[in-house]
Structure 1
Amino acid sequence: MNSFSGARLRTPEEIALNAGADFARLLPPQPGQVFAGRAVRMRQLAAGHAMRDYLLLMAVICEAQHEQLATYPAVALPSREQAGAAATAGQPLLHTASWPRDPVWREEWRALLGRVLNKLPEDSPARPSVEALRVLPDDALERQADRLLAGIGLGVDLAAAPLIAAGLQLHWTHLVSATAAAQPGAFGMTDDATRCPCCGSLPTASITRIGGEQEGYRYLHCALCSAQWHMVRVKCTHCQGTGGIQYQALQALADAAASGEREAVQAETCDVCSHYLKIVHMGKDLHVEPVADDLATLTLDLLVSDAGFTRHGINFLLLFGDEDAADAAPPDPDRGPR
């Protein structure tokens, strides 16, 4: 593992901010790219990976999400008055705890599962689970959705969670992108910089971007709606402190020696609050995607977890344990997905 420590120096990003640099603090999800790009990255990472079958299954789900999002029906969007009230209160406009889920999400979710089934081979071991979920009663589905969105692990069907979460991701990605298109500037930064300013969810990872006005800036990537919001580098994504920040990375792994892809993913740990979140670097691998790369580096979670750090964030495509979903220790990737 690699680590960074020493005197706290201002990053070029912070210097630019203090100089009044103008750049986008919030990047809404791009409907035509988010799930398609994630699916491509899943397939790329699956090659030779210990979790190959699971990554390929998630790629199928992401491909189905991309197709379903293109035909998602119109749903009620927030008014300008609601946007103003949320901004005044410093709260996410489409907070999962307060914004009502349109019942259409259940119909779209079942249609999503139909697309997944159409893409799966007839002999796929995942088919029976997907087929069984399609007839899950509405009240049971809503209970599972409530637990997932609240970060409650107790009572969550872990096998069904990625598929149910896929429907919730689809719904909130549509909500956020449609609102951003209809009301430019509807979303502002909120009082809690550690959670998504659009829907209030935790991030999956952060990403340092390249190109244009975003060059060198770090953004947190929402686990639910895929919006990205700015947070300066070398700053804890949990306690927002700047002391005791270190970076841990995998080294000397046989499956990484040739490609060097693992260098693009690090765990940013905080010695003050003992939390961590992964950070992916486009400058080291142009094709990194926060959700896919997080999923493909569970070994890194194991290492930092064993060192006593708790994850700040969540990946809805793989949940585990009976604890709070946001705080559970990662599973052993050698055992495969549960």
Structure 2
Amino acid sequence: MTATATVRVMSPEEIAARAGGETPYLLWPERATVFAERAMRLRQLAGRGHAMQDFLQFMAEVALAQQQRLAAHPPVPLPTAQQLDAAARAGAAPLAPPDWPRDPAWRDGLRQLVQRVRPHAPPAMQPVLDEMSVLPDDALEAQADALLDATPHGLDLAMAPLVAAALQVYWTHLVLAVLAAHTGGGQPFGRTDDATTCPCCASRPTASITRDAGDSPGQRYLHCSLCSTQWHMVRIKCSHCQGTRSIAYQALRPAGDDEEDLAAQAAVQAETCDDCGHYLKIVHRGRDPLVEPVADDLATLTLDLLVSEAGKQRHGVNLMLLFGEEAAEPPPDPGGA
């Protein structure tokens, strides 16, 4: 497989015209389906004879366990109206991990996840699950701190996907619970000073997704790596520097295929910026209605490698598979391959 570029980028006026109305800034995760849809997509991708088949299948089981936990998540402390207002006035995300204290419920969720995925885990993961089952609370909190830190020193890469999974459930629940608590009382989340990170929890995106239905056809949304919220950013802007002059698109193609045709039709691309040297994956629901940002990002690791070899640095992060600048060495293969 090789990477190629060339697609025409629509102007903001064209995008707005196609949208047919005002574009909502925030799209919320669906409590009943957010992780279940990810599990379905991971299974579909694994079933295509993918080189990372074992890993994708295991991540599908993790996503199903996440969905079960989210559906029955216990109540946890939420920010007060005063805290939300203070964050809004400061232009900050109210649930940013450095500022929002984690409730112990996330650790209970992690231990539940470990037990639920154990019957489906490959042999190479069993010792890791055994160790996680007996880790004391302070050790789990240290792993969470390392995962959420921009420079994750001390992070156990074998444990990281499950620690991340529990944190994703917890923060997704936080966002949805805050929304439910403020129904009719005004919007608790909004634009922040940093448009490149999540307005709810200040995390980086995993990838972006273009929508093809509802109130936002043709619009691009960044998908939060932690709380699953999506926020709007026009497609001609770099998700890192917000520049618009040097945007290009890269896509995987089988050798011999027509480059121009693939660049225009690929469901998963890397949006690159020559001005700042960063990139972010973009998945197109209009080209494949089942694309899911986290799942399709995992399944296109080869595209990351090719774009990185060309000198581009990843702006986004996938907490299910840390690599490159997020980790000092590649994570172990749960399938033992």
Structure-2 residue corresponding to 1:120: 120
Q: What does residue 284 of structure 1 align with?
A: 287
* C-alpha distance after superposition, 1:194-249 (max 9, x if no partner): 00000010000000011121111100000001000000002100000001000000
| Corresponding position: 1:191 with 2:190 | no
2:149 aligns to what?
Answer: 150
Distance 1:215 1:8 in 2: 13
State the alpha-carbon separation in 2 of the partners of residues 38 and 8 from structure 1.
29
Kindly tell me the number of residue pairs found equivalent between the two proteins.
325
Is the 1:4–1:245 Cα contact (8 Å) retained in structure 2?
A: no
- Residues 95-136 of structure 1 show CA distances to partners (whole Å, capped at 9, x for unaligned) of 11101101121112111211112x426x74322211211111
Contact 2:95–2:202 (CA<8 Å) still a contact in 1? yes
2:175 corresponds to 1:176: yes
User: Do the aligned partners of residues 173 and 197 (structure 1) sit closer, same or farther apart at CA in structure 2, a change above 3 Å counting?
Assistant: same
CA positional deviation for 1:138: 1.1
- The answer to whether the 8 Å contact 1:54/1:337 transfers is no
Counterpart of 2:243 in structure 1 is 241
Partner of 2:163: 164
- Between the two structures, name the one with larger relative contact order (CA 8 Å, sep ≥ 6): 2
Matched, 1:134 2:137: no
Structure 2 distance, partners of 1:312, 1:220, is 11
Distance 1:7 1:211, change over 3 A: closer
Quote the RMSD (CA, aligned, Å). 2.7
Whole-angstrom distance in 2 between the partners of 1:178 and 1:142: 23
Shift of 1:332: 10
Q: What is the letter of the counterpart of residue 71 of structure 1?
A: A
Separation (CA, whole Å) in 2 of partners of 1:7 and 1:219:
16
Deviation at 1:154, TM superposition (A): 2.4
Q: Residue in 2 aligned with 1:304?
A: 307
Name the % identity: 56
Residue 335 of structure 1 and its aligned partner are, at CA, apart by 12
Instruction: Report what 1:257 is aligned to.
Output: none
| Secondary structure of 1:96 counterpart | coil
Question: What is the CA distance between 1:69 and its match in structure 2?
Answer: 1.0
Task: Indicate the SS of the match to 1:277.
Answer: strand
CA distance in 2, matches of 1:147, 1:190: 25
**CA shift at 1:13, angstroms?**
2.2
Change (3 A) 1:197 1:337: farther
Q: Give the partner amino acid of 1:210.
A: D
Tell me if the contact between 1:299 and 1:333 (Cα under 8 Å) persists in the aligned partners.
no
CA distance in 2, matches of 1:161, 1:106: 13
Deviation at 1:333, TM superposition (A): 11
2:207 maps to 1:208: no
Listed one character per residue, the Cα deviations across residues 4-45 of structure 1 (whole Å, up to 9, x for unaligned) are 37898445225578x9x3232101221111100000000000
- Give the drift of 1:143: 1.1
Task: Please state whether the residue corresponding to 2:64 is helix, strand or coil.
Answer: helix
Q: What do the CA deviations read for 1:26-84 (whole angstroms, capped 9, x no partner)?
A: 01221111100000000000020000000001001000010111111000111111111
Moved more, 219-228 or 71-80: 71-80
Give the letter aligned to residue 36 of structure 1. A
Moved more, 136-145 or 125-134: 125-134
Q: Which amino acid aligns with 1:252?
A: P
Contact 2:249–2:271 (CA under 8 A) maintained in structure 1:
yes
On the 8 A contact 1:298/1:333 being kept in 2, the answer is no
Residues 136, 25 of structure 1: CA spacing in aligned structure 2 closer, same or farther, 3 A cutoff? Answer: same
C-alpha distance in structure 1 between counterparts of 2:319 and 2:24, whole Å: 26
SS of 1:211's equivalent in the other structure is coil
TM-score between the two structures when normalised by the length of structure 2: 0.89
2-structure distance, mates of 1:252, 1:124 = 33
> 1:5·1:245 contact (CA, 8 Å) conserved in 2?
no
Gaps of 5+ in 2: 257-261
The CA distance in 1 between the partners of 2:336 and 2:272, in whole Å, is 25
**Distance in 2 between residues matched to 1:16 and 1:83, nearest whole Å:** 34
Equivalences for 1:208-227 in 2 at 5 Å? 208-227=210-229
Moved more, 286-295 or 171-180: 171-180
In structure 2, how many angstroms separate the alpha carbons of the residues matched to 1:73 and 1:131? 25
Secondary structure of 1:212's counterpart equals coil
